[in-house]
Homo-oligomer: A and B are copies of this chain.
């Protein structure tokens, strides 16, 4: 008669808590994932075990998991189990990369094969956050940051200049060597090496004239109109983890997005 062990710190949810029961279950699951009880790629216990550990019915648990699957926090595979999402598949590779060659007829954009960009690191430096960077990343001015400059090429031509800024504290151990030898995408590196899962991003775009630095990196003339995209990548709780300024040569490429579902 041993009382069953609660897998990885799953806490039984109270009946009279705030909001519907399935929301509490969702929060509890999210808490366990965020706190590292289960990391990216881990297989969660099966549904009946979780439901029992939390003291809810399996239907209630499923409703909570449904929402987390929708938010890409969890992934379910019939016959295999439920897993903490790993952002390595193609769907995620391009989730935050939306530059495509220009087309004569702008409709069939999503039908074409998307090209993988070639990424060349052209700068890796440690420094201290300025006012804007600190505000964006919720740091204090002067806090240590890492700044990384990348040139992205499509079809052999430089199209994008990325300037990444991250907190050196959050990304402890991030070296140029580690960065250059990453096996997959940058966001995947964040996840595997630093336990940071990027769930969403907020962007602001504007048209500007290319400055000298940009002109040099992208191989365009100074003053040419280029697209500047300021992106803040967010993890759980909308916590900002990366500030990225992308400068895009839109002479032959477009910045693409699909709007839907509020």
Q: Is A256 an interface residue (CB 8 A)?
A: yes
Asked whether, in the complex, the Cβ of A227 is within 8 Å of the Cβ of B206, the reply is yes
Query: Which of A199, A200, A256, A260 has the most chain B CB atoms inside 10 A of its CB?
Result: A260
Q: Is A209 an interface residue (CB 8 A)?
A: yes
Stretch of A1-9, A36-44, A76-84, A103-111 on the interface side: A103-111
Shortest distance from the beta carbon of A190 to any chain B beta carbon, whole Å: 16
A 60-104 contacts with B by CB, 8 A = 70-72, 91-92, 95-96, 98, 100, 102, 104
**Nearest B-chain residue to A249, judged by Cβ:** B207
Asked whether, in the complex, the Cβ of A106 is within 8 Å of the Cβ of B204, the reply is yes
Complex Cα distance, B253 from A232, in Å, reads 17
Asked whether, in the complex, the Cβ of A206 is within 8 Å of the Cβ of B261, the reply is no
Shortest distance from the beta carbon of A2 to any chain B beta carbon, whole Å: 36
Taking CB atoms, residues of chain B closer than 8 Å to A70 are 261
Asked whether, in the complex, the Cβ of A95 is within 8 Å of the Cβ of B203, the reply is no
Given contacts A106-B232, A136-B106, A230-B106, contact A258 B201 (CB under 8 A): yes
Asked whether, in the complex, the Cβ of A258 is within 8 Å of the Cβ of B227, the reply is no
Shortest distance from the beta carbon of A184 to any chain B beta carbon, whole Å: 17
Asked whether, in the complex, the Cβ of B262 is within 8 Å of the Cβ of A72, the reply is yes
Shortest distance from the beta carbon of A112 to any chain B beta carbon, whole Å: 13
Complex Cα distance, B96 from A106, in Å, reads 18
A 100-132 contacts with B by CB, 8 A = 100, 102, 104-107, 109-110, 131-132
